[in-house]
């Protein structure tokens, strides 16, 4: 079940990467690269920091799922774009899952709660940041006007805090993921935005 949830999150992230490739008028190779980077980048960064073999290189499914997502977007991108609201909901679920599981794995490898929280955030948003850099966009992590990194930070901090209090197990991981998911959904629903510097007008 954990691997299945992981693959679902990877699939959703890969869809967003491939769609970015369509918007940037990239060919199928460029779409596949963005899909793979978006889906696997955060987890690879996490595992490299932890000095372990990245999970993406231990299972064929981790590489094939983004390619399947690329093929779907390549042939049916207008239809995928039309169901984007539903994809964003799944994306929020993937964000919550990735940040909580990333924090848990960092804690299991002996990182402090603070460092585990930061690595959990990197797991959740790292793939999207790589996607944006490759596509020539301002990374979401640096321009969090849709509260994407903030929910990941809150969920990761909750995961690390509960672990520090001696609470462990799948209910803790699930609660942290749900918190990040709920905050992301609320941000989209109520159009919450991170504040800009004082006196700086928001972009049109």
**137 belongs to a structural domain:** yes
Q: What pLDDT, in 10s, does the model give residues 153-177?
A: 999 999 999 999 999 888 898 899 9
pLDDT of amino acid 41: 93
Look up the pTM and report it: 0.86
In angstroms, the CA 22 to CA 19 distance is 5
pLDDT of amino acid 5: 72
**44 belongs to a structural domain:** yes
**202 belongs to a structural domain:** no
In angstroms, the CA 84 to CA 102 distance is 26
User: Residue 197 burial by CB count (10 A; 0-12/13-18/19+): exposed, middle or buried?
Assistant: exposed
**203 belongs to a structural domain:** no
| Residue whose pair of structure tokens reads 């993406």 in the numeric block | 56
**200 belongs to a structural domain:** no
Number of domains making up the chain: 1
More confident residue, 37 or 204: 37
Q: 50-86 burial, b for 16+ CB within 10 Å, e for fewer?
A: beeeebbeeeeebeebbbebbebbbeebeebeeeeee
**103 belongs to a structural domain:** yes
Q: What pLDDT, in 10s, does the model give residues 123-150?
A: 999 998 898 899 988 886 776 667 888 9
Give me the domain span that covers residue 123.
2-190
**Angle at the Cα of 147 (from 145 to 149), degrees rounded to 5?**
110
Least confident of 13-17, 112-116, 198-202: 198-202
**196 belongs to a structural domain:** no
Radius of gyration from C-alpha coordinates of the chain:
16
What is the rounded average pLDDT for all residues in the chain? 88
In angstroms, the CA 91 to CA 8 distance is 10
**204 belongs to a structural domain:** no
pLDDT of amino acid 144: 61
State mean pLDDT over 71-89: 87
Q: What pLDDT, in 10s, does the model give residues 45-77?
A: 999 999 999 988 888 989 999 999 999 999 998
């Amino acid at each position: 079940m954990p691997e299945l949830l992981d693959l679902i999150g990877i699939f959703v992230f890969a869809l967003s990467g491939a769609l970015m490739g369509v918007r940037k008028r990239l060919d199928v190779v460029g779409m596949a690269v963005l899909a793979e980077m978006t889906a696997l980048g955060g987890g690879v960064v996490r595992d490299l920091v932890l000095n372990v073999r990245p999970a993406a290189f231990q299972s064929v499914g981790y590489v094939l799922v983004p390619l399947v997502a690329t093929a779907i977007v390549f042939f049916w991108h207008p239809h995928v774009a039309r169901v984007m609201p539903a994809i964003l909901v799944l994306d929020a679920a993937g964000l919550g899952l990735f940040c909580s599981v990333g924090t848990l794995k960092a804690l299991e490898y002996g990182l402090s709660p603070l460092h585990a929280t930061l690595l959990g955030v990197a797991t959740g948003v790292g793939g999207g940041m790589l996607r944006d850099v490759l596509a020539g966009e301002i990374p979401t992590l640096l321009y969090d006007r849709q509260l994407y990194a903030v929910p990941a930070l809150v969920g990761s901090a909750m995961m690390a805090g509960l672990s520090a209090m001696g609470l462990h197990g799948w209910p803790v991981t699930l609660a942290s993921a749900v918190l990040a998911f709920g905050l992301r959904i609320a941000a989209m629903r109520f159009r919450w935005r991170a504040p800009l510097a004082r006196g700086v007008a928001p972009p049109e």
